[in-house]
Amino acid sequence: MSLSVCLLTRDEAHNLPRALDSVVGLAEEVIVADTGSRDATVRVARDLGARVIEHDWQDDFARGRDHALTQASGDWILWLNPDEELLAASRDVVRQCMANPQAFAFYGLIEQVERADQQKDFVAVTNARLFRKHADLHSVGRLHPRFEPSLEMLAARQGLMVFPAAVVIRRYAYLSPLTEDKLRWATRLLEKELADRPGQLHYLIEYGQTLLLLHEPRGHDVLAQAIEMVRKSAAASQPEVSTIQKLLDYVLTAEPAAYRGSMNKDEARSLALRWFPESPPLLWRMAEHAFVTKDYLPASDLLKRLVKLGRTGGYDHSQAFDPAIIGELAQLNLGVCLTRLGNYEQAERCLLPLLGHPRVGDQAGRSLAAAQILRAKKK
């Protein structure tokens, strides 16, 4: 079984060596579809052995991806973004996956590193990046394209399946910061996508949030439309799209003067617990609310869940977030909550391991000292 690795690029000369080096000796070919780079991307790609094809960019990632996929000659395709790399331990896993006669595609993990100074801290999200080449592979979506028909549907037509796999790709998210130019570029693509295919809840939520990042008040109106769509399906057992997590977070944090939605915060919390019980951002937001209102018992329960999710890795992998909220920040705040509840011994057990931590060590030390003083007074 042969493997083609495909990438879509524009001005990625600084990232390409890491990405392409990670598949040397694994891929029979590497295809770089370049969308008009003005830096040394094309030269770097060719120097590293990739086959470069030009793609006329038309504000459509789906077209770009499809153009790259049609050029692939391998039996299997691995999709990489330029700011990513396939981890070395996954190379043999990829080979094993391709040898599975029952498989059409595999979901792997994308480890998103958010900070250059914290390389070991990341959040893992799932994504299908390894799949068989097939004539019916077709992408839809100007931004964040998806396959239509889905990989699952294509697999079923052939009596095959889509499996999870221990294929790990690491994304260095801090190398692609959201500047104002990038946000306005994303806004343009989102507007075109919603004009092409109106009523897509996922894109409506992202469009509204992108407008708010640009400090454009009309983002609140867009999100109010999305809230109405969610309210109509609130009785469903499962959410329509995982991006609703971001919408509920917005409802929980929006300033009353700016908020234009019809869902109140209690409704949002109830829906969050029912639809997304393992979503760290939503659990963190609800714990934060309980803490601020001095409701320390539910706050501590939510923080315990976050700590457990961090230790087991059993959290919802559909959305990225700051890994500290299932790590040191969750443990620190749990220690503070337990202190307020008078559970001083438990608080000390939470806080002691954090001493010396570069991000929360000083605060943990102060909180530990306070717990120890209160414990001594209690005696």
pLDDT at position 116 is 74
DSSP H or E run through 309: helix 296-312
Ramachandran angles phi, psi of 209, nearest 5°: -70, -35
- Third-level CATH fold of 277-379: 1.25.40
Inter-residue contact 108 to 127 (CB < 8 Å): yes
Class of domain 3-175: alpha beta
pLDDT at position 360 is 96
DSSP H or E run through 378: helix 361-378
Q: Do domains 3-175 and 277-379 have the same CATH topology?
A: no
Read off the amino acid at residue 201: L
Calpha distance 326→310 (Å, rounded): 5
The 3-state secondary structure of 216-262, one letter per residue: CCHHHHHHHHHHHHHHHCCCCCCCCCCCHHHHHHHHHHCCCCCCCCC
- C-alpha 193: how far from its chain's center? 20
| DSSP structural state of residue 179 | -
Read off the amino acid at residue 316: D
Among candidates 168, 172, 177, 166, which has minimal Cα distance to 119?
Answer: 172
Per-residue pLDDT of the chain (379 residues; tens, 9 = 90+): 899 999 999 999 999 999 999 999 999 999 999 999 999 999 999 999 999 999 999 999 999 999 999 999 999 999 999 999 999 999 999 999 999 999 999 999 999 887 777 777 788 899 999 999 999 999 999 999 999 999 999 999 999 999 999 999 999 987 777 899 999 999 999 999 999 999 999 999 999 999 999 999 999 999 999 999 999 999 999 999 999 999 999 999 999 999 999 999 999 999 999 999 999 999 999 999 999 999 999 999 999 999 999 999 999 998 889 999 999 999 999 999 999 999 999 999 999 999 999 999 999 999 999 999 998 887 6
Q: Is the peptide bond before 149 cis (omega within 30 degrees of 0)?
A: yes
Calpha distance 63→140 (Å, rounded): 8
pLDDT at position 173 is 81
Distance set, CA 323 to CA 57, 118, 238, 329 (Å) = 35, 10, 25, 9
Please report, for the chain, the start and end positions of each structural domain, with discontinuous segments joined by +: 3-175, 178-273, 277-379
Calpha distance 39→30 (Å, rounded): 20
pLDDT at position 122 is 80
pLDDT at position 379 is 66
Q: Which residues pair with 31 in a beta bridge?
A: 6, 51
The pTM (predicted TM-score) of the whole model is 0.90
